[in-house]
Every structure is written in C-alpha cells, then in structure tokens.
Amino acid sequence: DTAVSQTPKYLVTQMGNDKSIKCEQNLGHDTMYWYKQDSKKFLKIMFSYNNKELIINETVPNRFSPKSPDKAHLNLHINSLELGDSAVYFCASSQNSPMDEQYFGPGTRLTVT
C-alpha cells in the first residue's frame, strides 16, 4: 500500500525527446512537490502544488511543465531533453501545516544519452 508512488522508476532516453513522469499519493495530502536530485545528492525543489494550484515555481527551464489533474496526482513533463536533465526526480507530498513533514516517492532515475 504505497503512500507516494512514481512511474516509471527508470527512464533512459535520447537527447531531444519528450518524456513524462507520473506521481500519485494516497495520503489525502493537499500539497505535492517535485524535486531534482543531482549526482552529488543535492536536492533542489522545482515545483509545488497545493490543491491543484501552483504555489512554488523555482528557476526551472520552461521545458519542464508540471500538471496536477487532481490533488492526488502531480505529473512532470519534460520537453527536448538535454544531457543535464539526467538526475533522480522525486515526488513528495505533505499536509498544509508548516510543521508537517514531506513523504517522498521512490524516485525516477532519468538518464539522457
């Protein structure tokens, strides 16, 4: 009974392609996030949605577009993939209260060749 799930777990693709990563949470949380973790394990927030509304949009190339069809789902679409996009992408969710922790998915390892 996975709390935050992501698909696919691995994604290998060539430069210039377009790909999507899906995320679903069954915790009833209102807020969902996308993070990028690079090879040095540095975690960078990309986007956050609260009840389907975009609330955090960090400096991320326009090639990245999040979409939240409902509050349990947050997808990430990436256009024109570049070598530098290779990383592990994590989805997370949390309650609205600032004292509440985030629950992370297992990650999607994206490799662009």
Residues that bind another protein (CB under 8 A): 4, 31, 33, 40-43, 45, 48, 50, 55-56, 90, 92, 94, 96, 98-99, 101-107
Alpha carbon 67 to its chain centroid, in Å, reads 10
Compute the least distance from the CB of residue 59 to another protein, in Å: 13
* Nearest residue (CB) to another protein, 9 versus 18: 9
CB 50 within 8 A of CB 30: yes
Beta bridge partners of 109: 10, 88
Given the complex with another protein, which of 50 and 111 has the nearer CB atom? 50
Pairing of strands 108-112, 19-25: unpaired
Least separation in angstroms between CB 80 and another protein: 27
Torsion angle of the four alpha carbons 4, 23, 110, 89, in this order, in degrees rounded to the nearest 10: -60
Q: How far is the CB of 8 from another protein (least distance, A)?
A: 14
| Nearest-approach distance from CB 87 to another protein, in angstroms | 14
